[in-house]
Structure 1
Amino acid sequence: MFPKPLPSLTPNTAAYESLPMVKPTGFREYDARWFLGKELNLMGVQAVGMGLGTLIGRMGVKREIVVGHDFRSYSASIKMALVTGLMAAGCKVRDIGLAMSPMAYFAQFELDVPCVAMVTASHNDNGWTGVKMGAQRPVTFGPDEMTALKKIVLEADFDLIGGGSLLFIEDFAGRYIRDLTERPKFSRKLKVVAACGNGTAGAFAPQILEKLGCEVIPLDAELDYTFPRYNPNPEDMKMLHAMAVAVKEHGADVGLGFDGDGDRCGVVDNHGEEIFADKIGVMLARDLTKVHGPSQFVVDVKSTGLFATDPELKRLGATTDYWKTGHSYIKRRVRDLNALAGFEKSGHFFFNAPVGRGYDDGVVTAIAVLDMLDRNPTKSMAELYAEVPKTWGTPTMAPKCADEIKYEVVERITKRFQDMRDHAQRVADHAIVDIVTVNGVRVTASDGTWGLVRASSNKPELVVVVESPVSEKRMRDMFKAVDAVVRENPEVGEYNQTI
Structure 2
Amino acid sequence: MFPKPRQDLVPNTAAFERLPLVKATGFREYDARWLFPDEINLLGMEAVGLGLTTLMRKRGVPMRIVVGHDFRSYSSAIKAALTTGLLAGGAEVHDIGLALSPMAYFAQFELDVEGVAMVTASHNDNGWTGIKMGIDRPLTFSPDDMTRLKEIVMNADFGSYEGGGRYIYVPDLPERYMADLLKHPKYTRKMKVVVSCGNGTAAAFAPQVLSELGCEVIPLNCELDHSFPAHNPNPEDLAMLNATRDSVLEHKADLALIFDGDGDRCGVVDNTGEAIFADKVGVMLARDISALHKNAHFVVDVKSTGLFKTDPVLIENGAHTAYWKTGHSYIKRYSHENGALVGFEKSGHFFFNKPIGRGYDDGLVSAIAVLDMLERNPGKSLAELKDALPRTWQSPTMSPHCADETKYGVVDQIVKHFEDVAKHGETLAGQKIRELITVNGIRIVLEDGTWGLVRASSNKPELVVVVESPTSEANMRAIFAEIDKELANHPEVGEYNQKI
TM-score (norm 2): 0.99
Amino acid at match of 2:482: A
CA deviation after TM superposition for structure 1 residue 441, in Å: 0.5
CA deviation after TM superposition for structure 1 residue 425, in Å: 1.3
**SS in structure 2 opposite 1:427?**
coil
Query: How big is each residue's C-alpha offset from its partner over 1:272-308, in whole Å with a ceiling of 9 and x where there is no partner?
Result: 0110000000000000011122200000000000000
Q: How does 1:94-493 map to 2 (within 5 A)?
A: 94-159=94-159, 160-493=161-494
Query: How big is each residue's C-alpha offset from its partner over 1:357-393, in whole Å with a ceiling of 9 and x where there is no partner?
Result: 0000000000000000000000000000011100000
Q: Take 1:41 and 1:145, find their aligned partners in 2: how far apart are those partners?
A: 22
CA deviation after TM superposition for structure 1 residue 53, in Å: 0.8
CA deviation after TM superposition for structure 1 residue 89, in Å: 0.8
Equivalent residue number for residue 11 of structure 1? 11
Q: Take 1:212 and 1:232, find their aligned partners in 2: how far apart are those partners?
A: 24
CA deviation after TM superposition for structure 1 residue 24, in Å: 0.3
**SS in structure 2 opposite 1:108?**
helix
Equivalent residue number for residue 77 of structure 1? 77
- Please say if residues 301 and 439 of structure 1, whose CA atoms lie closer than 8 Å, have aligned partners that are also in contact: yes
Give the aligned length. 499
Query: How big is each residue's C-alpha offset from its partner over 1:31-67, in whole Å with a ceiling of 9 and x where there is no partner?
Result: 0000001100000000000001110111111000000
Q: How does 1:48-63 map to 2 (within 5 A)?
A: 48-63=48-63
Q: Take 1:10 and 1:279, find their aligned partners in 2: how far apart are those partners?
A: 45
**SS in structure 2 opposite 1:281?**
helix
- Please say if residues 194 and 218 of structure 1, whose CA atoms lie closer than 8 Å, have aligned partners that are also in contact: yes
Mean Cα displacement is larger for which, 421-430 or 92-101? 421-430
Amino acid at match of 1:403: D
Query: How big is each residue's C-alpha offset from its partner over 1:249-288, in whole Å with a ceiling of 9 and x where there is no partner?
Result: 1011111000000000000000001100000000000000
Q: Which runs of 4+ in 1 moved over 3 A?
A: none
CA deviation after TM superposition for structure 1 residue 229, in Å: 1.1
Amino acid at match of 2:143: P
Q: Take 2:369 and 2:57, find their aligned partners in 1: how far apart are those partners?
A: 37
Q: Take 1:149 and 1:117, find their aligned partners in 2: how far apart are those partners?
A: 13
**SS in structure 1 opposite 2:432?**
strand
- Please say if residues 8 and 38 of structure 1, whose CA atoms lie closer than 8 Å, have aligned partners that are also in contact: no
Equivalent residue number for residue 20 of structure 1? 20
Amino acid at match of 1:324: K
**SS in structure 1 opposite 2:152?**
helix
CA deviation after TM superposition for structure 1 residue 447, in Å: 1.1
**SS in structure 2 opposite 1:83?**
helix
Q: Take 1:140 and 1:158, find their aligned partners in 2: how far apart are those partners?
A: 22
Amino acid at match of 2:131: V
Amino acid at match of 1:340: L
Runs of 5+ in structure 1 lacking a partner?
Answer: none
CA deviation after TM superposition for structure 1 residue 183, in Å: 2.4
Q: Take 1:184 and 1:44, find their aligned partners in 2: how far apart are those partners?
A: 46
Amino acid at match of 1:323: W
Q: How does 1:23-42 map to 2 (within 5 A)?
A: 23-42=23-42
Amino acid at match of 1:208: V
**SS in structure 2 opposite 1:52?**
helix
Q: Take 1:108 and 1:254, find their aligned partners in 2: how far apart are those partners?
A: 32
Q: Take 1:489 and 1:161, find their aligned partners in 2: how far apart are those partners?
A: 50
Mean Cα displacement is larger for which, 146-155 or 230-239? 230-239
Query: How big is each residue's C-alpha offset from its partner over 1:106-155, in whole Å with a ceiling of 9 and x where there is no partner?
Result: 00000000100000000000000000000010010010000000000000
CA deviation after TM superposition for structure 1 residue 238, in Å: 1.1
Q: Take 1:138 and 1:23, find their aligned partners in 2: how far apart are those partners?
A: 28
**SS in structure 2 opposite 1:426?**
coil
CA deviation after TM superposition for structure 1 residue 10, in Å: 1.1
CA deviation after TM superposition for structure 1 residue 478, in Å: 0.8
Percent of aligned positions that are identical: 65
Q: Take 1:249 and 1:56, find their aligned partners in 2: how far apart are those partners?
A: 51
Query: How big is each residue's C-alpha offset from its partner over 1:411-440, in whole Å with a ceiling of 9 and x where there is no partner?
Result: 000000001111111111111111110000
Q: Take 1:27 and 1:168, find their aligned partners in 2: how far apart are those partners?
A: 28
Runs of 5+ in structure 2 lacking a partner?
Answer: none
Query: How big is each residue's C-alpha offset from its partner over 1:468-499, in whole Å with a ceiling of 9 and x where there is no partner?
Result: 00011110111101111111111000000011
CA deviation after TM superposition for structure 1 residue 8, in Å: 2.1
Q: Take 2:223 and 2:270, find their aligned partners in 1: how far apart are those partners?
A: 23
Amino acid at match of 2:107: A
CA deviation after TM superposition for structure 1 residue 161, in Å: 3.2
Q: Take 1:408 and 1:26, find their aligned partners in 2: how far apart are those partners?
A: 17
The Cα RMSD (Å) is: 0.6
**SS in structure 2 opposite 1:430?**
coil
Amino acid at match of 1:162: G
Amino acid at match of 1:305: G
TM-score (norm 1): 0.99
Q: Take 1:83 and 1:315, find their aligned partners in 2: how far apart are those partners?
A: 51
Q: Take 1:339 and 1:260, find their aligned partners in 2: how far apart are those partners?
A: 27
Q: Take 2:395 and 2:40, find their aligned partners in 1: how far apart are those partners?
A: 34
